[in-house]
Chains A and B, each alone.
Chain A
Amino acid sequence: MKGVLVKDFYIAKSNILVTIVSLVVLGLGLSFLLETSALLVLAPVASTTAAFISITSDAASKWNKNVVIMPISRNQIIGEKFLFYILLALLGMITALIPCVTLACFSADVMFHSLCLYGSIGISATLLAGGISLPCAYLFDPEKSQIVFMMSFLASTGIITGLVFFINLFISVKENILLAFNLVLIISVVWFFISYKITVKIYQKQDIT
């Protein structure tokens, strides 16, 4: 699996670098307008675009045909893509924390509560979106899966809103906002895991030509 992960990082390298620089610059720039920690909502979502660049590249080069005959199971091939997606999201989070920590050092108002809240929203949105778009990348052709990829981020915000309204039926979200979004995060993690299992099932029986 390590080899495939190395391949994906090679493919996504330039995109990752651009994302990192953009997030740091955006974070520092945003600090004049709004809370820098809000960048944590955007960062993991933005950084996972590299996963789709690697999926598109795999399709264009017919790498999938090659990798299936290598000593890696289909299960591992899918596992690697999901792991790559998570690693990119974490990389985005860490990158977004750079301007937050930098500004905190210069006594700017960066609250730990806000970091947790926005981080939770960002990771939830990323996992929900990935849980929709990653299986579709193996179900549809590259063009359709790119559309699904873009739509998945819209869908994830809708799902989060829906979940928040649902949680609000049981506990007051205004008073327990961090708890509510942590519950959303847990649901997102479970959804991402289920999505991984579904993708493995799809890929196990898929003809690759």
Chain B
Amino acid sequence: MTNALTISGLTKTYKDFILDHVSFAVPSGSIVGLIGENGAGKSTTINASLGLIQKEDGIISVLGKEKLDRDIKEQIGVVFDGSNYPEILSPQKLNRVMKNIYKSWDEQAYFRLLKQFSLPSDKQIKQFSKGMKMKLAITAAFSHHSKLLILDEATSGLDPVVRDDILDMLLDFVQDEEHSILVSSHITSDLEKIADYIVLIHKGKVIFSKPKDELTEQYGIIKCGAAQFDALDKSDIIVYRKMDYEWQILVSDREKMQKKYPKAMVVPATIDEIMLLYVKGEK
């Protein structure tokens, strides 16, 4: 399987933050969810991948090329948190701008999507709600036959109905094996619905990059008391967290753990819980 995006050893240093040798890949035909708390390095990773910021070290390969030339940029669709289009423009005027920028701009697809999202083509963007602006940004990203779609917190602040529409569109998009998506989001429930792989970034480092099914079907949380925690084989523990009345222990194979510790309560782990345990737990 080829990768639409490969990030290897990406490093960027700021005064108070280091993106430290970040490595992961977005395989073609898949959706990769990038998760992590605010300031973990998700946007920095995306910005470096898109050439918005200069990297200090590492290799980034987009659609098989390390240089983001005009042809590669034609094939990337990006949606940021906010439309990032001049608010004085209307979708109609934006169409005139974009068709003079993208060789592959598909006017018909653009207006069809505007209609599908019930977006007025003659109203200025400043009159749009946040949801409408996001829909417009997604419409634009879908209207130049991009092969790689990158969404940076694109669904945050949207109501569940709009989010669901967008998630359906994303799933449709990857039906074609040539299309791939990298989506960073705080809303892990959305990623649970659509992602094939999950990458967790914490304090500028990739904690894991795993298939989502492995996380949701194999990972588990042992909920127990102090005595039971002490009796656990420490090599079984990925991370643990002491709560008010119980201990929560993240394990990588919940069925195996259930057999090994029949008296323990081992429950499936959500992506949210896994993230929380990694971020707030101890090793």
Most buried by A among B84, B93, B102: B84
Q: A69 touches which one: B52, B71, B89 (CB < 8 A)?
A: B52
Let me know if A143 is at the binding interface, CB within 8 A: no
Let me know if B74 is at the binding interface, CB within 8 A: yes
Instruction: Determine the distance from Cα of A187 to Cα of B86 in the docked complex, in whole angstroms.
Output: 35
Instruction: Determine the distance from Cα of A120 to Cα of B205 in the docked complex, in whole angstroms.
Output: 58
| B101: chain A residues within 8 A (beta carbon) | 2-4, 70-72
Let me know if A172 is at the binding interface, CB within 8 A: no
| A205: chain B residues within 8 A (beta carbon) | 54
A158-209 interface with B by 8 A CB criterion: 205, 207-209
Nearest B residue to A5, CB-CB:
B100
Given A10-B97, A207-B54, decide whether A66 and B84 contact each other with a Cβ distance below 8 A: yes
Report whether B53 and A209 are in contact in the complex, using a CB–CB cutoff of 8 Å: yes
Let me know if A140 is at the binding interface, CB within 8 A: no
| A66: chain B residues within 8 A (beta carbon) | 78, 80, 84-85
| B88: chain A residues within 8 A (beta carbon) | 10-11, 57
Most buried by A among B53, B83, B89, B99: B89
Report whether B89 and A7 are in contact in the complex, using a CB–CB cutoff of 8 Å: yes
- Give 1 or 0 for each of A44-72: 1 = CB within 8 Å of chain B CB: 00000000000001101111011011111
| B99: chain A residues within 8 A (beta carbon) | 3
Distance (whole angstroms) from the CB of A75 to the closest CB of chain B: 12
Let me know if B29 is at the binding interface, CB within 8 A: no
Distance (whole angstroms) from the CB of B5 to the closest CB of chain A: 13
- Give 1 or 0 for each of A1-24: 1 = CB within 8 Å of chain B CB: 011101100110000000000000
Number of interface residues of A (CB under 8 A): 25
Let me know if B87 is at the binding interface, CB within 8 A: yes
Distance (whole angstroms) from the CB of B251 to the closest CB of chain A: 38
- Give 1 or 0 for each of B12-29: 1 = CB within 8 Å of chain A CB: 000000000000000000
Let me know if A73 is at the binding interface, CB within 8 A: yes
Instruction: Determine the distance from Cα of A6 to Cα of B51 in the docked complex, in whole angstroms.
Output: 24
Report whether B103 and A63 are in contact in the complex, using a CB–CB cutoff of 8 Å: no
| B53: chain A residues within 8 A (beta carbon) | 207-209
Distance (whole angstroms) from the CB of B92 to the closest CB of chain A: 11
| A65: chain B residues within 8 A (beta carbon) | 52, 80, 84
Report whether B86 and A69 are in contact in the complex, using a CB–CB cutoff of 8 Å: no
Q: B50 touches which one: A3, A10, A69 (CB < 8 A)?
A: A69
A-B CB contact pairs (8 Å), 10 listed: A6-B100, A11-B89, A65-B80, A66-B80, A68-B51, A70-B73, A71-B73, A71-B74, A71-B102, A209-B53
Nearest 5 CB-CB pairings of A with B:
A3-B100, A3-B101, A207-B53, A71-B73, A66-B84
| Interface of A toward B, CB cutoff 8 Å | 2-4, 6-7, 10-11, 57-58, 60-63, 65-66, 68-73, 205, 207-209
10 A-B pairs besides A6-B100, A10-B88, A70-B73 with CB distance below 8 A are: A2-B100, A3-B96, A3-B98, A57-B86, A62-B82, A68-B52, A69-B50, A71-B74, A207-B52, A209-B52
